[in-house]
Structure 1
Amino acid sequence: MAGPSRVVSLAPSATAILDAAGLADRVVGATVHSALDRPAVGGWLNPDFDRIDALDPDVLCTCDDLQEDVAAEARDRGFDVEHVAPATLDEVFDTFPTICDAAGDVAAGASLAGDCRQHLDSVATAVADEARPTVYCEEWADPPMAAGNWVPDVVRAAGGAYPFLDAGERSREVTREAVESAAPDHVVLHPCGKGERGDPAAFTARNWDVDADVHAIDDSLLNQPSPALLGGIDRLARCFHPDADLPDPWSPPARESDGSI
């Protein structure tokens, strides 16, 4: 897509990608879940297409299989849609140029992806000689669900071992027996949509036979396929390997907005 585009982001991950790439000025509307102060156009699964139309966007951004119906309806209404559905950490990074290309600057997305991969290399070097603790990541508590998609990659990037699912598999229900059998050293609670409100005390109250450090972290750091995952990797690496010579936590490279929108 040539030139700057007016983007309505219906996915918090797309908003975060564009913001980190220095293209926040091109986002003219977003869902109520957006961290950017933009006109709200409804929720993730129930956008208000009349509000979207009034913003005169060039493109709408959606993400994940759960938004396929939203993307299809938007196309039926005549909107151009950029839809991505990454399942692994590498695929998440691959979406950065795609999303930024929709906003008119593919190079910004490629640069962002390269910067993120470079940071991962630095973390990998820092934990290369460390013993890998076993980790259980719980995306939902009732019923308990082991996190899938890119979370196994995130755990391994942070220097942990994740025996519950392979990268790219969808999150799924897990039994008490399976968790106990894995004997995790760390339990990471990141219930979807609940921010930092995972409850270690509630996990302990289950009386599972698990001798582990229990951590509650903001769900966006593990659940959102955006540069936020770098924050999750940094956070977990410090939990798993507090004595390792880890790089400073990742932050987006400084970029000046072109003020195009």
Structure 2
Amino acid sequence: MSTGPRRIVCLTEEPTEVLYALGEQDRIVGISGFTVRPARARKEKPKVSAFTSAKVGEILKLHPDLVIGFSDIQADIAAELIRQGVEVWISNHRSVAGIVDYVRRLGAMVGAADMAVAYADRLQAGIDAVAAQAATLPRRPKVYFEEWDEPRISGIRWVAELVRIAGGDDIFPELAAQSLAKHRILADDAQIIARAPDIVFGSWCGKKFQPRKVAERPGWENVPAVRDGQLHEIKSPIILQPGPAALTDGLNEMARHIHAWAGSKN
């Protein structure tokens, strides 16, 4: 007999991706408008939220027995739904280990614990395989991950961890521990230039990364990444969502560029 919530609204992409991966997509009655994974979800499910806003009235019409969101940024949405009598789960996982555990917890909530454990184990095996390959690299690049360009914002914790797993060294590890984007703002470019990144990964959360604009920044002409043409986009849906996409496609894309850099330096 099926257990757990039957009518779930997902305010972000990662619960949607996980539930589809577990074969539990029939429980989903509403999704985030930013959802791109899996592609079929956009065709099958009504879009009722952005990231910082939601159509509360439309959500209530769906009669959800659980709404799933992420982080303090969705606290106001959660509070309004709670006041309307809706059960809400706001996860706040920020690390690679946290993402893997999130898969297990969400699976348990919908009565698919065994499937979720198996899926989480496969995700972890993929991570371990990338780490093992990275351990064979002859050298490790210094990596600057830019989550936003104006102002410059460096990468969040799970991104910095994935950079390390892929074979690079994040140049702002002290900022990666800060969960809020406002605490990862870089006051001026001198901080970045001084740390001389070999690779720049850009993921400008919702807009296209423009390597030319990065290369034309004043004072950046001698940054190794600019000098060597190592300015690469990692599309935000596969790295800035704390879900399976980051642990698979996002990690593999960064590893591909890092391995190419390491090979070119032999």
Residue identity opposite 1:74 in structure 2: L
2:209 to 182, 198, 205: 198
- Report the Cα offset of residue 243 of structure 1: 8.8
TM-score computed with the length of structure 2 as normaliser = 0.84
Residue 243 of structure 2 aligns with an amino acid whose one-letter code is: S
C-alpha deviation, 1:26, in angstroms = 1.8
Q: Which amino acid aligns with 1:202?
A: K
8 A contact 1:127–1:244 mirrored in 2: no
Change (3 A) 1:183 1:243: closer
Are the aligned partners of 1:7 and 1:26 in contact in 2 as well (CA < 8 Å)?
Answer: yes
Please report how far the alpha carbon of residue 45 of structure 1 lies from its aligned counterpart in structure 2 after TM superposition: 2.4
1:235 to 253, 256, 261: 253
Counterpart secondary structure, 2:190:
helix
Question: What residue in structure 1 maps to residue 160 of structure 2?
Answer: 152
The alignment covers a number of residue pairs equal to 243
Q: Which has the higher helix share?
A: 2
Tell whether the 8 Å contact from 2:5 to 2:65 is kept in structure 1 after alignment.
no
Q: Secondary structure at the match of 2:157?
A: coil
What's the offset of the Cα at 1:168? 3.4
Identity of matched residues, %: 31
Aligned residue in 1 for 2:6: 5
The range that moved more, 157-166 or 33-42, is 33-42
One of 85, 102, 125 as aligned partner of 1:78: 85
Matching residue's letter, 2:85: G
| Corresponding residue for residue 215 of structure 1 | 232
The reply on whether 1:168 has 2:180 as its aligned counterpart is: no
Return closer, same or farther for 1:244/1:106 CA change in 2, 3 Å cut-off: farther
Residue 25 of structure 2 aligns with which residue?
Answer: 24
Residue 170 of structure 2 aligns to a residue whose secondary structure is: coil
Deviation at 1:4, TM superposition (A): 5.8
Name the SS of the counterpart of 1:25 in structure 2.
helix
CA distance in 1, matches of 2:231, 2:214: 8
Three-state SS of the structure 1 residue aligned to 2:243 is coil
Query: SS where residue 223 of structure 1 aligns?
Result: coil
Distance 1:217 1:200 in 2: 12
Measured in 2, the distance between the counterparts of 1:119 and 1:234 equals 9
Deviation, 1:23, is 2.1
Q: Is the 8 A contact 2:70 2:91 kept in 1?
A: yes
SS at match of 2:212: helix
Q: Matched residues in 1 for 2:59 and 2:110: separation?
A: 16
Alignment gaps of 5+ in structure 1: 246-261
| Distance in structure 1 (CA, Å) of the matches to 2:89 and 2:118 | 19
Tell me how large the CA RMSD over aligned residues is. Answer: 2.1
User: For the residues of structure 1 that align with 2:217 and 2:243, how far apart are their CA atoms?
Assistant: 32
Q: After superposing the two structures, state which structure 1 stretch, 52-61 or 35-44, moved more.
A: 35-44
Q: Which amino acid aligns with 2:35?
A: S
1:220 counterpart letter in structure 2: P
Query: Cα–Cα, structure 1 residues 71 and 102, in superposed 2: closer, same or farther, change >3 Å?
Result: farther
Could you tell me how far 1:58 is from its partner in structure 2?
Answer: 1.8
